[in-house]
Amino acid sequence: MNILDKIVADKRKEVDLKKSLIPVSQLENSVMFSRNTVSLSNALRNSSSGIIAEHKRRSPSKSEINQGLNVQDVATGYENAGVCGMSVLTDGKYFGGSLDDLILARAAVQMPLLRKEFIINEFQILEAKAHGADVILLIAAILSKEEIKTFSELAKSLGLDVLLEVHNEAELHKSIMPSLDMLGVNNRNLKTFEVSLETSKALSRLIPDEFVKVSESGISSIEAIKDLKPYGYQGFLIGENFMKTDNPGASAKEFINQLS
Ligand SMILES: O=P(O)(O)OC[C@@H](O)[C@@H](O)c1c[nH]c2ccccc12
């Protein structure tokens, strides 16, 4: 079994258990649930840097990245650096994250927050809103076309932006639909962990202009961004390059300063 299949199998168990313990009404009646959200796709359209910075303690490809930071400090640092939004990993088993991280980040900042999760059920979308997210990630490799449609339409009805992630042409063809806001090309193959920015370049011309294009993973230099911009990318999702340092906010700030 490849790692993605393993993650999804574990996620199904986790979500089944949670659904048996937490009634949907508890999520829908939470104070967070009725708040106004902020749009990441609009922030990216109006930004010159386009940086989305991620909070990621560890990953199956890198194991430990940084366990010693406080998520609120990271969020505040990223916001002060002038990033467009923040991605918060909420998967516990493989990435060391949690929904508490999302709540804490929400309490610290106003900028758009993405729940970075392997979403396989509507419940997780309600949960995202109830824990302060503005945006959800949907991963084409683990969803059917029908699921992408149902999940993205539910997210839109809750005022959440949708970032749909693809890694190849077939996933892209299956996924294009009006209920998405952003199309993300993951430069990392989630099955093999191989990273290549060429993936973003190759798929860019197949993404219709109405979607904000986001390039995800393996970005660690100003040159990479300059290389990708001519292909129409307006968003750049960066995790490890910032998180591996003692002060991710300061490294994001330095990165953005060098860009302009
Ligand atoms: O740390 P990096 O290489 O900058 O990558 C960030 C982000 O793109 C990556 O964490 C990611 C992209 N898609 C995902 C889906 C699930 C978990 C994680 C991811």
CATH code (residue 76): 3.20.20.70
Distance 148 CA to ligand 1 centre (A): 19
Alpha helices in the chain (DSSP H): 3-21, 24-28, 40-45, 71-81, 99-108, 122-130, 145-157, 169-175, 198-204, 222-228, 240-243, 248-259
Say how many domains are in the chain: 1
Instruction: Tell me which long-range contacts 152-159 makes (C-beta under 8 A, separation of at least 24).
Output: 152/177, 152/179, 152/180, 153/179, 154/122, 154/125, 155/125, 155/179, 158/37, 158/125, 158/126, 158/129, 159/36, 159/37, 159/129
Q: From first to last of its 260 residues, what are the pLDDT tens digits of the chain?
A: 899 999 999 999 999 999 999 999 999 999 999 999 999 999 999 999 999 999 999 999 888 999 999 999 999 999 999 999 999 999 999 999 999 999 999 999 999 999 999 999 999 999 999 999 999 999 999 999 999 999 999 999 999 999 999 999 999 999 999 999 999 999 999 888 899 999 999 999 999 999 999 999 999 999 999 999 999 999 999 999 999 999 999 999 999 999 98
Annotated catalytic residue 254: no
Q: Can you give the pTM of this predicted structure?
A: 0.98
Residues 6+ apart with CB under 8 A from 169: 203, 206
The residue segments making up the domain with residue 221 are 3-259
**Catalytic-labelled residue, pool 79, 171, 216, 240:** 216
Distance 25 CA to ligand 1 centre (A): 31
Annotated catalytic residue 56: yes
Q: What is the interface pTM, i.e. ipTM, of the complex? A: 0.99
Distance 41 CA to ligand 1 centre (A): 18
**Catalytic-labelled residue, pool 11, 79, 116, 200:** 116
